[in-house]
């Protein structure tokens, strides 16, 4: 389990260095969880109870649109936090599902533990603010890409940034994330290669 926390601390260190006090707190409040492939970790219509950190494995976040279709709104490429973030922070009902595409190893913290440690952590407030800004920037970039890039440009940008996802995530989820029909994505892939 030590490697779980090493992975978490290395990820956080990309934004700020955790003092030992906060590392101890993380070890006490983030709990390891192994989740089998194809598990729905969270379902729409509920308040998210946990903030998840993916140590290993691939997950997707999706919602059901007005046509009853699954729309993938997020995919992870490596370790990172993965939660219905705003619903977790505000403890409101989420419209999203969290799906483990592969077997996943997670660290997760409950909302009460996150709130409690916020009062004692030296860095949690700064990190939470920076994480929120990062989530917002990624969301805005995604909206901009969907509005302004062609399907081929979105796909090329995606494979440049996230080549590992192509090896581990079914094409239908990637197509949904990119806002492309699976058959159109198959055609684009054939034309590129």
* Structure confidence by residue, pLDDT tens digits, 22-54: 898 999 999 999 999 999 999 999 999 999 999
Position 1 scores a pLDDT of: 66
Q: For residues 45 and 144, what is the distance between their CA atoms, to the nearest angstrom?
A: 28
Position 36 in a domain: yes
Domain assignment present for residue 165? The answer is no
Q: What is the mean pLDDT of residues 151-171?
A: 92
CATH number, position 107? 2.60.120.10
Whether 111 has a pLDDT exceeding 90, the answer reads: yes
Residue 80 included in any domain: yes
Query: Which range marks the domain in which residue 22 is found?
Result: 2-120
pLDDT at 109 over 90: yes
Place of tokens 């973030």: 85
d(CA 181, CA 175): 6
Amino acid 127: pLDDT: 79
163 in a structural domain: no
Assess if residue 128 is contained within a domain. Answer: no
Q: Enumerate residues 6+ apart whose C-beta is below 8 A from 143.
A: none
Tokens of 149: 């890039």
Number of domains the chain is built from: 1
**Strand (E) positions, 43-127?**
50-56, 59-64, 70-75, 80-81, 97-100, 104-110
Q: C-alpha distances in angstroms, 122 versus 9, 16, 47, 64?
A: 15, 11, 28, 39
Residue 16 lies in a domain: yes
Residue 31 lies in a domain: yes
43 in a structural domain? yes
The length of the chain in residues reads 193
Structural tokens at position 97:
């599902």
> What is the enclosing helix (H) or strand (E) of 115?
helix 111-118
**What is the average per-residue pLDDT within 155-182?**
92
- Residue 166: predicted pLDDT: 87
């Amino acid at each position: 389990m030590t490697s779980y926390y090493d992975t978490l601390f290395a990820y956080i260190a990309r934004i700020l260095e955790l003092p030992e006090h906060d590392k101890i707190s993380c070890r006490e409040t983030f709990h390891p969880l192994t989740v089998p492939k194809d598990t729905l970790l969270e379902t729409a219509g509920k308040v998210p109870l946990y903030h998840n950190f993916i140590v290993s494995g691939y997950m997707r976040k999706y919602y059901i649109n007005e046509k009853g279709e699954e729309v993938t709104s997020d995919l992870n490429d490596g370790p990172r936090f993965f939660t219905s973030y705003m619903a977790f922070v505000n403890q409101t009902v989420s419209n999203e599902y969290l799906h483990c595409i592969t077997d996943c190893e997670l660290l997760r913290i409950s909302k009460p533990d996150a709130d409690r440690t916020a009062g004692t952590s030296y860095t949690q407030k700064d990190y939470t603010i920076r994480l929120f800004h990062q989530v917002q920037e990624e969301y805005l970039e995604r909206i901009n890409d969907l509005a302004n890039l062609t399907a081929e440009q979105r796909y090329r940008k995606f494979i440049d940034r996230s080549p590992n996802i192509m090896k581990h995530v079914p094409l239908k989820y990637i197509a949904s994330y990119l806002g492309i029909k699976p058959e159109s994505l198959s055609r684009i892939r054939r034309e590129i290669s």
